[in-house]
Amino acid sequence: MDAIKIVLAGQPNVGKSMLINAMSGSHGLKVGNFSGVTVEKTEVCFEHHCHMFEMVDLPGTYSLRGFTQEEKVAHDYLNNEAYDVIINVLDSTHLQRNLLLTLELLKLNKKMVLALNMADEAKKEGLEIDVKQIEAIIGVPVVLVSANTNEGVEELLQRIHDVADSSERRASNIVYSDVVEEEIFKLSFFMKKKGFKLRDLSTREIAIRLLLEDKDLYKELHDEPIMIQLQPRLLEAFEHIYTHHETKDVAEIKANEYIAIAKGIRMETVKCNREKGEKNVTKKIDDILINRFLGVPIFLFLMWGLFQLTFVLGSIPMEWIETGIRLFGDAVGAGITHEGLRSLIVEGIIAGVGAVLLFLPNIIILFLGIALLETTGYMSRVSFLLDGFFHKFGLHGKSFIPLVTGFGCSVPAYMATRTLKNEKDRLITLFIIGFMSCGAKLPVYVLFIGAFFPTENAGNMLFAIYMAGALLGLVMAKALRVFVFKSKDEPFVMEMPKYRWPSFSLIWHTVYSKALSYLKKAGTFILAASMLIWFASNYPNQPDLEEDYGIKIEQASANEAEISTLNNELKLAKLEGSYLGQLGKATEPFFAPLGFDWKMTVALETGLAAKEVVVSTLGVLYAIGDEVDEEDNTLRKALNDNYSTATAFAFIVFVMIYLPCLAASMVFAKEAGGYKYLAYLFIFTTITAWVLSFITYRILL
């Protein structure tokens, strides 16, 4: 038997995803995420009463007019793809607004079932919904369901079966305003008299579409002889309608008609037993959370909490993972005798995979937090609170969360931009996240500040660096908005959904799928790229060099200190001769105007793998060994001896701005929608870093 193909359509925040979970949950779930670049539609397959159900979850849209990306996706899918039944999911507690979309969906003339979700909530709010009456008006089966309590889910599946099997469709009894009804009657009467037929449309339906300027229908009718006679009648009808609606904008007339119809249906079918004027929970919470004075501090506190959780709590499993990877690498390495192979597996592959796994705790905690903010309805309030400030810089209120996350780590920050629905807002945010100095840049800053400034100023310097980065990011956002991602301001008109308790299953599902997609996609690229860097810093083989040092080390057999110095010298020489070292030397002229020598250049280039590596590379290059950290006094002294303050400042500025680490870059490319964006980011950050570094250097020189 063929599978029944079902499309779920509905407005945002009606619990569509939860309903899919509830429907498929008890019937053997197989979820596949087919993610597009900006909007994701989910497909699910499961079996019910020996029928395969194939479900497509369209992005939530308020209408099908196609003004936003989601609306376009939904509109195109509903119009062009083959499917059997539409399930229109509605929020029972907001029927009137939800019915506006239903009215548009009805125009598609497809088999449809209405699922009035959140029935339990409606009951709690004292709403009584007359399902039979709605069915009679709209002409399609209506089922009260609750994805929360599973109430009505079985009935919904049964009704889908019935609808899919039946061939006829009941006519709807939707009544327009008196004026429009009058004109519908006249036109329909005329067409009936002429015996005119078109597809399976009734003459009433044709008349409605003509009056509401359905472009497709006009195209279809263009060559029909009846058009000649319809035309004068239509003109007259329009005049009549225009005068009554006080506007000639048919879109507005249509909207007003729909709003009136939806209101009519709601008044006829929903009985409200709630006391009037009683404040509901959402209003009470809003009084506090978006309070003019308390709102922002409360939000900042929550952000601070999430940030702390992500990076403090996250660092605990990170340490375990780090240790685990190292132990695993050592254990595996001990079993391999071939030196090159051992190095490839331990330092290339295992270390590369380790670097990917390392970010996992951060990502899981952060997404748990974001999922909570989103499902409870708080995220919209965040936009509401911060839009005023961020809008001045060409950003959206929601950009705040990815930007703040960027101070911890850019990888989850890039992923957090998914909450931004507008393509350009998202891209601008993605491009400036790098300006928020991530945790890995801290060791570099600490090292250089320690080397060039007295201890008592170190804290202030560090703060100044972070703030300068953030401010620069905001200025860059404005510049990008004005010069690159030119677009009319996205209007800020958004629904503030009701506050709801988060659903455990939905949150688990979101976090799980985000983590999995990170591991799968970023994992493969990061792995490949870290192997490339491993190769570049270890090859070509320099057997002569090793032989030379081998002899020297042997000669110094008694002197421990000398051996260690020689070992460090060997490392330095090897790095200098490697492909990476050659690259560093080759690109030295490019950095010369900034006052950087080839050692700094190499450090910056290895820093592309991970920013912490900048410190260890400098350690190697100053022959102190790669076990140094930012607190190392020998390295600080070496830096102070070799570089001027101007160079040090220029270096800090460059590190602050240039391309984020490899893992982050890969995630960036994926989130932005292609490697070409990574190329843009590379050009954008490199030029900005170079120019500002140059200015810093010249001013301080």
**668 near other proteins (CB under 8 A):** no
Cβ closer to other proteins: 384 or 682? 384
Strand, helix or coil at 362?
A: helix
Tell whether residue 232 is a contact of other proteins (CB under 8 A). Answer: no
Least distance CB 300 / other proteins (angstroms)? 13
Task: Give the nearest distance from C-beta 129 to other proteins in angstroms.
Answer: 14
Residue 177 touching other proteins (CB under 8 A):
no
Cβ 479 to other proteins shortest distance, Å: 21
The least distance separating other proteins from the CB of residue 303, rounded to whole angstroms, comes to: 17
CB closer to other proteins out of 256 and 645: 256
Residue 202 as a binder of other proteins (CB under 8 A): the answer is no
Can you tell me the distance from the alpha carbon of 312 to that of 21, in angstroms, rounded to the nearest whole number?
33
Contact with other proteins (CB under 8 A) among 496, 515, 531, 700: 496
Is residue 177 within 8 Å of 263, Cβ to Cβ? no
- Which amino acid makes up residue 113? V
Strand partners, 41: 34
277 lies in the binding site for other proteins (CB under 8 A) = no
Q: Which span (93-101, 308-316, 420-428, 611-619) binds other proteins, by CB under 8 A?
A: 93-101
From CA 462, how far away is CA 443, in angstroms rounded? Answer: 11
> Residue 374 CB, nearest distance to other proteins (Å)?
15
For the bound state, the minimum distance from the C-beta of residue 495 to other proteins, rounded and expressed in Å, comes to: 6
Q: Which is nearer to other proteins, 246 or 456 (CB)?
A: 246
Q: Report, in Å, the least distance between residue 294 CB and other proteins.
A: 11
In the window 96-155, what residues touch other proteins (CB under 8 A)? 96-97, 100-101
Q: Are 91 and 98 in contact (CB under 8 A)?
A: yes
Neighbours of 264 (CB within 10 A): 17
Whose Cβ is closer to other proteins: residue 255's or residue 462's?
255
C-alpha distances (whole Å) from 197 to each of 172, 203, 227, 570 are 19, 7, 13, 90
Q: How far is the CB of 261 from other proteins (least distance, A)?
A: 11
Tell which one of 495, 546, 547, 631 touches other proteins (CB under 8 A).
495
Q: What is the C-alpha separation between 514 and 502, in angstroms, rounded?
A: 17
Query: Closest approach of Cβ 251 to other proteins, in Å?
Result: 7
If you search the block for the tokens 């493969």, which residue do you land on? 524
Residue 272 per-residue DSSP state? E
Q: Which DSSP helix (H) or strand (E) runs through 55?
A: strand 51-57
Pick 252 or 629: Cβ nearer other proteins: 252
Closest distance of CB 280 from other proteins, Å: 10
By the 10 Å C-beta count (0-12 exposed, 13-18 middle, 19+ buried), 172 is classed as: middle
Interaction pattern, residues 447-486, with other proteins; x per rule: CB under 8 A:
----------------------------------------
Query: Which one, 94 or 611, has the nearer CB to other proteins?
Result: 94
Site membership for other proteins, residue 252 (CB under 8 A) = yes
Asked if 258 is part of the footprint of other proteins (rule: CB under 8 A), the reply reads yes
Under a CB-based contact definition with an 8 Å cutoff, are residues 129 and 163 in contact?
A: no
User: Phi, psi (5° rounding) for residue 319?
Assistant: -65, -40
- By CB under 8 A, the residues from 350 to 409 that bind other proteins are 380, 383-385, 387-389, 391
Q: Does 491 bind other proteins (CB under 8 A)?
A: yes
In angstroms, rounded to a whole number, what is the distance separating the alpha carbons of residues 553 and 179? 101
Nearer to other proteins, 388 or 459 (CB): 388
Burial of 352 (0-12, 13-18, 19+ CB in 10 A): buried
| Cβ proximity to other proteins, 295 vs 352, nearer residue | 295
Pick from 128, 165, 236, 287 the residue near other proteins by CB under 8 A.
287
Site stretch for other proteins (CB under 8 A), options 115-123, 189-197, 256-264, 668-676? 256-264
| Cβ 164 to other proteins shortest distance, Å | 29
Residues 6 or more apart in contact with residue 180 via CB below 8 angstroms: 211, 241, 257
Gap between the Cα atoms of 88 and 104, Å rounded: 11
Closest distance between other proteins and the C-beta of residue 286, in Å? 6
The label of the residue with tokens 């260690």 reads 564
d(CA 9, CA 12): 9
CA angle 258, 381, 66 (to 5 degrees): 35
Binding residues for other proteins, total number by CB under 8 A: 45
Name residue, tokens 């609170």: 385
Q: How far apart are the first and last CA of the chain?
A: 79
**From candidates 493, 520, 544, 561, binder to other proteins by CB under 8 A:** 493
- Stretch in the footprint of other proteins (CB under 8 A) among 283-291, 451-459, 653-661, 692-700: 283-291
User: Is 262 a binder of other proteins (CB under 8 A)?
Assistant: yes
With vertex at residue 380, the alpha carbon angle to CA 377 and CA 386, rounded to the nearest 5 degrees, is 140
Q: Which is nearer to other proteins, 61 or 503 (CB)?
A: 61
Buried b (16+ CB within 10 A) or exposed e, 27-55: eeeebeeeeeebbbbbebbbebeebebbb
CA 591-410-446 angle, 5° bins: 60
**Cβ–Cβ under 8 Å, residues 86 and 108:** yes
Residues in region 17-76 near other proteins by CB under 8 A: 62-63, 65, 67
- The residues that touch other proteins, with contacts defined as CB under 8 A, are 62-63, 65, 67, 93-94, 96-97, 100-101, 251-252, 255-256, 258-259, 262-263, 282-283, 286-287, 290-293, 295-296, 380, 383-385, 387-389, 391, 489, 491-498
